[in-house]
Amino acid sequence: MDLHTVTAYDIAYSRADLALGPGDALVGGGTWLFSEPQPHLHRLVDLSGLGWDPITLGPDTVDISATCTIERLSWLSDRHDWASAPLFRQCAEALAASWKIWKRATVGGNICLSFPAGSMISLAVALEAEAVIWTPDGDERHLPVADFVTGVASNLLVAGEVLRSIRIPVEALHCRTAFRKIALSPLGRSGSVVIGRCDGNASFTLSVTAATTRPHVLRFARFPTARALSSALDELVPAEDFHTDAHGAADWRRAVTAVLAEEVRAELSAGEASEKEGRP
């Protein structure tokens, strides 16, 4: 839709172009910005001119630029050297947005919107990614994406800051993962996304997103029993953190999250047992 209060559209080519004032907003892919009225906005600053490499592979970390499209990110699932590779496409497909929107929608736009159904948040949290944030004074700060998102459409980004990238430790990419998503309708917006990660030393990490107002990460030194997992969920993910909207009621989200968490635990622990026995 047209944003008729917006009177300037600038393309940023360098960091200096990212100075933002009141009424200014960044544009990633614009798939959300242009989808509803933004009467408080007067100027848009488009990040596409910065020419950031979408994906930078380092020895210990993989940086995904904020401007990386969801389509480009999903191609990482074609890698055969990362045990967690399937997660990239699984998380892209967890969006209600289709492959057409993936061509424009960016990883950064999804995370900065900070909606519970932001599946780039689910991905980043499951892989222990940190947010690399450019601050207006020319510096940068880092924090776990799990802490970055603080509630429905709220996060720790302050005025003038730009999400530059998310940084995933390579170690996490070598972990086996299991993914579950549920929605009220087959192509609906996620009601709960639960991802498990099994580290080389048999520790187990479970992340809960979409069902709750902010991400929750549960860590276990070894695989919990079904009962221990269920108790940990009850204890560590407070009932009041499950939220209600058109895509699901809090009590439904809480109940299905427990079911998905047990499925994830069972899948990964079965895989762990086969590995120990040397079975394929």
Ligand X SMILES: Cc1cc2nc3c(=O)[nH]c(=O)nc-3n(C[C@H](O)[C@H](O)[C@H](O)COP(=O)(O)OP(=O)(O)OC[C@H]3O[C@@H](n4cnc5c(N)ncnc54)[C@H](O)[C@@H]3O)c2cc1C
**Interface residues with ligand X (CB under 6 A)?**
25-33, 35, 47, 66, 95-97, 101, 104-106, 108-110, 112-113, 115, 117-118, 157, 162-163, 189
Q: From CA 136, how far away is CA 161, in angstroms rounded?
A: 6
Among residues 35 and 150, whose Cβ is nearest to ligand X? 35
Closer residue to ligand X in complex, CB, 31/61: 31
Q: Which is nearer to ligand X, 52 or 242 (CB)?
A: 52
Shortest separation between residue 198's beta carbon and ligand X, angstroms: 27
User: Closer CB to ligand X, residue 5 or residue 35?
Assistant: 35
Q: How far apart are CA 28 and CA 45, in angstroms?
A: 9
Q: Whole-number minimum distance, CB 58 to ligand X, in Å?
A: 20
Q: What are the contacts of 247-253 at 24+ separation with CB within 8 A?
A: 247/117, 247/183, 247/184, 247/188, 247/189, 247/190, 247/191, 248/183, 248/184, 248/191, 248/192, 248/211, 252/191, 253/191, 253/192, 253/210, 253/211, 253/212
Pairing of strands 130-134, 61-65: unpaired
Residues present in the chain in total: 280
The residue number whose beta carbon is nearest to ligand X equals 109
List the one residue out of 39, 188, 219 whose CA is nearest residue 119.
188
Rounded to a whole number of angstroms, the minimum distance from the CB of residue 10 to ligand X is: 13
Distance CA 240, CA 25 (A): 32
- Residue 22 beta carbon to ligand X: minimum distance, rounded to whole angstroms: 14
Give the separation between CA 6 and CA 14, rounded to whole angstroms. 22
- CB nearer to ligand X: pick between 55 and 236: 55
Q: How far is the CB of 41 from ligand X (least distance, A)?
A: 9
- Least Å from the CB of residue 262 to ligand X: 24
Question: Which residue lies nearer to ligand X by CB, 66 or 229?
Answer: 66
